[in-house]
């Protein structure tokens, strides 16, 4: 955790607390619309009272897109010719292809097979499949189960409904001392999977509580819990001018709860402030990590960074979606995401925010070097490590020209960001520098 002087943090979620929220939300059958989305937003609002639940309507258009109808499911199952319910949506909501149209039919094995999805190389796993914009139906089963299906005939029932209505999302603004904004976005549209994507909403809930316990914040925080893709497209359409004017950096929060890796997906520009912060943070953390170019994108940064939108939004993750074998399967579960993984994910995001908050420009007030000894900033030569300390301090001072920000200076001086900040804080305390 990066510490910031003059700021008291009152709230830090434990990994267990974050994990308990994830356990609560896990069973809900989420999709890009419908009851699961409503229940998820209600749960989040219960923890974050200031959350505003907003909506756009089915059949409304945003740019090239039309919002889909609201999808709900009462039940979905397959019964074999012995009367056994062999596939049941109630046992695992991944069994049903998202946005499946209703069906109630007795059919042959040959007719059923093209509607079954399975992963041969992960025989235990139920895959996650959706068909939002093409009317279809289907079931997902583990390869092990697929092999034991029998010859049929099968009774196939999907009691789903489509109707016009509201597609909901959550929004929360946390005011800072400036109108400049940091956008933090996550999605709330995946059914029972933990890393992709419940770790995102859960960490964002923790981050909101943490941000609200700051004594002061430089940035205003725009927090959104949206259905992926369609949600970000509508959000951008409804807020484009504000976003373009005020958003200075942002992150899509997802895949933040495993213990395998750390990752950063760059913005399309690749050199914006958030790119610099994320890369430096991962370097300073001294953990195994991967930096991905924008071409490896896969979430709402696609919309936020689109030509003409061009918001500086990247994605800091633990293991990136698509890069872990459990991704989009039933193996992405409550064991794969751990309290420790979530706590590390929280620390990653909160550290990036702290860097954004503190990455300022300062100017030294003296011409030629300040006399450090008379200010108690020059250690006794006998002190251990004092030579390196003096060197670091002088190097930092040399770049306090009002042109370089803290991040630039830490890189020029080959210092950790935190160490650089510590030196600057000391100089600030001696009234040797002014903020630009
Ligand atoms: Zn996903």
Compute, in angstroms, the gap from residue 397 CA to the centroid of ligand 1: 46
Model confidence over 120-156: pLDDT tens digits? Answer: 999 999 999 999 999 999 999 999 999 999 998 999 9
Q: Quote the pLDDT of residue 431.
A: 86
Compute, in angstroms, the gap from residue 314 CA to the centroid of ligand 1: 16
Compute, in angstroms, the gap from residue 327 CA to the centroid of ligand 1: 8
* Tens-level pLDDT at each residue, the chain (436 residues): 344 444 455 689 999 999 999 999 999 999 999 999 999 999 999 999 999 999 999 999 999 999 999 999 999 999 999 999 999 999 999 999 999 999 999 999 999 999 999 999 999 999 999 999 999 999 999 999 999 999 989 999 999 999 999 999 999 999 999 999 999 999 999 999 999 999 999 999 999 999 999 878 999 999 999 999 999 999 999 999 999 999 999 999 999 999 999 999 999 999 999 999 999 999 999 999 999 999 999 999 999 999 999 999 999 999 999 999 999 999 999 999 999 999 999 999 999 999 999 999 999 999 999 988 888 887 766 666 678 888 999 999 999 999 999 999 999 999 999 999 999 999 998 888 999 9
User: Which of these, 51, 64, 31, 62, lies nearest to 236 by C-alpha position?
Assistant: 62
Compute, in angstroms, the gap from residue 393 CA to the centroid of ligand 1: 46
Give pTM, 2 decimals: 0.95
Model confidence over 387-423: pLDDT tens digits? Answer: 888 899 999 999 999 999 999 999 999 999 999 999 9
Q: Which residues is 289 bridged to in the sheet?
A: 262
Compute, in angstroms, the gap from residue 428 CA to the centroid of ligand 1: 45
Compute, in angstroms, the gap from residue 408 CA to the centroid of ligand 1: 35
Compute, in angstroms, the gap from residue 321 CA to the centroid of ligand 1: 7
Compute, in angstroms, the gap from residue 189 CA to the centroid of ligand 1: 9
Compute, in angstroms, the gap from residue 68 CA to the centroid of ligand 1: 18
Q: Quote the pLDDT of residue 383.
A: 65
Compute, in angstroms, the gap from residue 20 CA to the centroid of ligand 1: 21
Compute, in angstroms, the gap from residue 427 CA to the centroid of ligand 1: 46
Compute, in angstroms, the gap from residue 190 CA to the centroid of ligand 1: 7
Compute, in angstroms, the gap from residue 328 CA to the centroid of ligand 1: 6
Compute, in angstroms, the gap from residue 198 CA to the centroid of ligand 1: 10
- Burial class of residue 72, CB neighbours in 10 A (0-12, 13-18, 19+): middle
Compute, in angstroms, the gap from residue 159 CA to the centroid of ligand 1: 24
User: Which of these, 40, 114, 34, lies nearest to 74 by C-alpha position?
Assistant: 34
User: Which residues are CB-neighbours of 388 under 8 A, at least 6 positions away?
Assistant: none
């Amino acid at each position: 955790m990066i510490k910031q002087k003059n700021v008291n943090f009152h709230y830090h979620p434990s990994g267990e607390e974050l994990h308990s929220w994830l356990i609560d939300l896990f069973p809900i059958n989420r999709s890009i619309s419908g009851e699961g989305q409503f229940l998820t937003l209600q749960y989040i609002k219960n923890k974050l009272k200031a959350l505003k639940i907003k909506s756009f309507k089915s059949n409304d258009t945003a740019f090239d897109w039309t919002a889909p109808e609201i999808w709900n499911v009462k039940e979905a199952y397959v019964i074999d010719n012995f009367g056994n319910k062999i596939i049941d949506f109630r046992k695992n909501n991944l069994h049903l292809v998202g946005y499946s149209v209703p069906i109630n039919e007795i059919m042959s094995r040959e007719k059923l097979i093209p509607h079954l999805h399975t992963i041969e190389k992960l025989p235990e796993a139920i895959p996650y499949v959706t068909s939002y914009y093409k009317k279809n139906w289907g079931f997902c089963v583990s390869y092990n189960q697929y092999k034991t299906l029998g010859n049929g005939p099968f009774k196939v029932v999907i009691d789903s409904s489509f109707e016009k209505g509201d597609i909901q999302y959550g929004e929360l603004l946390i005011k800072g001392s400036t109108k400049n904004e940091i956008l933090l976005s996550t999605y709330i549209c995946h059914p029972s999977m933990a890393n992709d994507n419940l770790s995102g909403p859960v960490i964002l809930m923790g981050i909101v509580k943490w941000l609200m316990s700051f004594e002061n914040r430089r940035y205003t925080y725009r927090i959104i819990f949206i259905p992926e893709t369609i949600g970000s497209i509508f959000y951008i359409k409804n807020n484009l001018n504000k976003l373009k004017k005020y958003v200075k950096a942002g992150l899509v929060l997802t895949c933040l709860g495993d213990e395998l890796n750390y990752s950063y997906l760059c913005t399309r520009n690749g050199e914006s402030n958030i790119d610099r912060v994320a890369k430096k943070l991962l370097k300073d953390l001294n953990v195994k990590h991967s930096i991905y170019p924008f071409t490896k994108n896969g979430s709402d940064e696609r919309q936020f960074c689109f030509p003409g939108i061009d918001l500086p939004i990247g994605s800091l993750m633990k293991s990136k979606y698509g890069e872990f074998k459990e991704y989009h399967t039933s193996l992405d579960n409550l064991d794969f995401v751990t309290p420790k993984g979530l706590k590390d994910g929280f620390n990653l995001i909160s550290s990036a925010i702290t860097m954004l908050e503190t990455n300022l420009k300062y100017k030294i007030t003296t011409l030629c070097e300040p006399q450090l000894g008379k200010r108690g900033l020059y250690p006794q030569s006998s002190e251990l490590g004092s030579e390196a300390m003096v060197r670091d301090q002088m190097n930092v001072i040399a770049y306090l020209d009002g042109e370089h920000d803290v991040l630039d200076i830490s890189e020029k001086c080959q210092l950790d960001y935190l160490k650089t900040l510590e030196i600057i804080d000391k100089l600030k305390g001696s009234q040797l520098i002014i903020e630009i």
